[in-house]
Amino acid sequence: MAQVDRRVFKSYDIRGTYPDQLDERFAYLLGRALASVLGARRVAVGHDSRLSSPSLYAALAAGLRDAKADVGGMGLCATELVYYVMGSAAERHPGGPKAASGAFDLGVMITASHNPPEYNGFKVVRAGGEPVSGAGGLDEVRRAMEAMDVGAMAGAAPPKTVAAEEEYLDFALRLVGTPQAQRLRIAVDAGNGVGGLLWEGLSCRLGVEPVRLNCEPDGRFPAHHPDPSHRQNLEQLIGAVRARRLDLGFCYDGDADRVVVALPDGHVVDGSEMIACIAERLLSRRPSPAFGVGQTTSRRALDHFRRRGVEPRIVPVGHAKIKRVMRADPEMAFAGEDAGHYYYRDFFCCDSSLITTLHVLHLAAEGRLEALVRSLPGPWVRPADEPAFAFANQAHALQVCRAVSLRMLERCGAPLEITCEREGRVVRHCTPADVEACDGVRADYADWWFCVRPSGTEPIARLALEARSAGLLEERQRELSALFGELGAP
């Protein structure tokens, strides 16, 4: 019987530290279990730039082969390239790419996304780009791994047999259109992840040679932490944009499924601002497309659309939940969340930093990007970093989130609106009684709002809040933090 660390199995993927929580033995067992439990016969596999990724890649492939599955090697690549191959395998767009002609029934990306260098993990998707969640198969995969004997793990890394990079670029340019970006002066910071690979072909197609920062894949991430959601990891990009008087800069996370943009004056376009910009471009191209915004989206974006008579659909936070909601709502053309993930129906309801980059380049080339960002209503002030509170387990974190929400609602009176996440969806116009059965809650007042929710991957509670002034923000954050300390005490 194999010993498997259950803590690495999250709601949406597998993730932990290497080699103490997951290693080559784990990857080998995972390969065997994916093939046997999920019935995968042809599996496309890619990996990011982390130092442990090549050996995990070889071990996973060995396990798949020993379970009689064929392996399509994608090598070093961005996560969204795996999404593209798997979406194309289900023939979700006319023609389908040659690279996916073998109709893979499962895809695996070896990555820990934006986590520190000592982490690694596995994102598993079915044909069509649908993520495999815990309840959707990973829990059963874990049980199968625990029942296995390790056996032999010999095997070299699979050769690269799935080369879909150019086809994916063709697809994205057809979908978004080719921006006239030749006059734009651009910086690209790949953070030593795989984001630079996206620009290898894009630069040639657009006739743009960006200032390249940290575009050499290096799993030590020597330049900075591979998480662009934190300001300190953007300082090099911001400095280059300012010093060279560039028009904009792009920064990507470790596996390049998130992108953040910096403007000439150093302003970082946050997730809510990016959602507003992309949705505006989609609205200008197609009348009244439905689109979704994450439950923690800023009032700057929400008020902007409501003032012009457009009501976004509120979706839960988390890529698997958003993809599930989009697939159930055929009218939803786009969705975005503050973390920097942007999802497109025409990209199999998956997130794509390449498609987002192209939309931003269009807006910048047309002179609309900065104007759109500056036009969003305000002021609305948010903390520099999202507060989080640790607990013994996720159940306790959820219990405290509900208790904190109810206490704040008692103190502050009736809000403009309460939204609750329940069973993977966000329900609007709720009452305090609904909070007792929800997984996350947001309450909007005239001059501030808060949202509390348990993490889907860790035993922590997250607090998002925003206010009309820095003073009010500090007051409310202090009050909510005190409640988490009081109500979360053992």
- Nearby residues of 345 by Cβ (< 8 Å), 6 or more positions away: 326, 330, 332, 333, 334
Residue that has been written with the tokens 């990555």 in this structure: 111
Tell whether 228 is covered by a domain: no
Distance, in Å, from the CA atom of 315 to the CA atom of 307, rounded to the nearest integer, reads: 20
Distance from C-alpha of 427 to C-alpha of 162, rounded to nearest angstrom:
42
CATH number, position 426: 3.30.310.50
Res 101: pLDDT: 44
Q: How many residues does the chain have?
A: 490
Report, in this order, helix, strand and coil percent for the chain, each rounded to 5.
Answer: 40, 20, 40
pLDDT attached to residue 103: 83
Examine the fold and report which residue of 120, 144, 161 is the final residue of a domain before the chain moves on: 161
Q: Among 104, 129, 161, which residue terminates a domain?
A: 161
Residue 15 to residues 114, 119, 237: CA-CA distances in angstroms? Answer: 11, 7, 28
In a domain, 13, yes or no: yes
Number of H helices, E strands in the chain: 15, 21
Answer whether residue 238 is part of any domain.
Answer: no
Any idea what the CATH number is for the domain that residue 98 is in?
3.40.120.10
| C-alpha pair distances (Å), 328 with each of 124, 324, 331, 335 | 20, 6, 9, 13
- Domain holding 430, by residue range, is 388-487
Give a yes or no: residue 441 inside a domain. yes
Structural domain count, the chain: 2
pLDDT at residue 98 in the model: 47
Q: Residue 136's pLDDT is what?
A: 85
Does 383 reside within a domain? no
Q: In sequence order, which residues have a C-beta less than 8 Å from that of residue 337 and are 6 or more positions away?
A: 271, 275, 293, 294, 296, 297, 315, 317, 318, 322
Task: Tell which of 135, 161, 187 closes a domain.
Answer: 161
Domain contains 133: yes
Please tell me the distance from the alpha carbon of residue 190 to that of residue 361, in angstroms, as a whole number.
Answer: 17
Q: Taking the CA atoms of the chain, what radius of gyration do you get in angstroms?
A: 22
**Predicted structure pTM score:** 0.94
Q: Which residues pair with 122 in a beta bridge?
A: 14, 110
Residue 243 is assigned to a structural domain of this protein: no
- Tokens in use for 277? 């910009």
Tell me which residues of the chain have a pLDDT lower than 50: 92-101
DSSP per-residue codes, 146-196: HTS-------PPPPB----HHHHHHHHHHHH-----TT--EEEE-TTTTHH
**Enzyme catalytic residues:** 113
Report DSSP state, residue 3. Answer: -
